[in-house]
Amino acid sequence: MSSGSNQSTTKEFLEELYKNMKMGADSIINILPKVKDEDLRQELTAELNRYEEFAKDASRQLYDAGGTPEEEGIMTKLMSKMGMAMNTAMDSTSSHLAQMMIEGATMGITENTKLLREYENKSCSESALSLGKQTIRFMEDSVERMKRYL
């Protein structure tokens, strides 16, 4: 990377992307114990692995840019976990779990699209922007895959 501003904007972008991917992974980890349908379990496990791969790639690029990945704070994680527990307490059907995953992925698509739009004109590295685009496509595909379980 050539300029310091390029490196700092790339770091900022990757820090947010990393957090978003870890949030997606944490959501699946929180929901997996409720999944009874084996096909849905396999689908979510594959998605979990992909979220972790994206987080690892963002982390690697972040280190290369001189940054360090940080996850969301403990309170944010705890609130998310509690919200998910409450949301599944009354209804843990595959349809409801798929709906929750669709809503989460849609939030992720929105967050990563806003992030991408904000940083694509700020001399952010092409590899970081490319990773951001890949995460959006993945989550869009995830929404489509989850619709089978509605």
Contacts of 112 (CB under 8 A, 6+ apart): 17, 20, 132, 135, 136, 139
> Which range of residues forms the domain containing residue 106?
4-149
What total of structural domains would you count in the chain? 1
Query: pTM, whole model, 2 decimals?
Result: 0.89
Q: What is the pLDDT along the chain (150 residues), one digit of tens a residue?
A: 344 457 789 999 999 999 999 999 999 999 999 999 999 999 999 999 999 999 999 999 999 998 888 876 777 767 777 777 777 778 889 999 999 999 999 999 999 999 999 998 888 999 999 999 999 999 999 999 999 999
Query: Tokens at residue 28, please?
Result: 């699946």
Alpha-carbon gap, residue 28 to 22, rounded angstroms: 10
| Residue 19's CATH number | 1.20.1260.10
For residue 64, count other CB atoms closer than 10 A to its CB.
16
The angle subtended at Cα 145 by Cα 140 and Cα 147, nearest 5°, is: 100
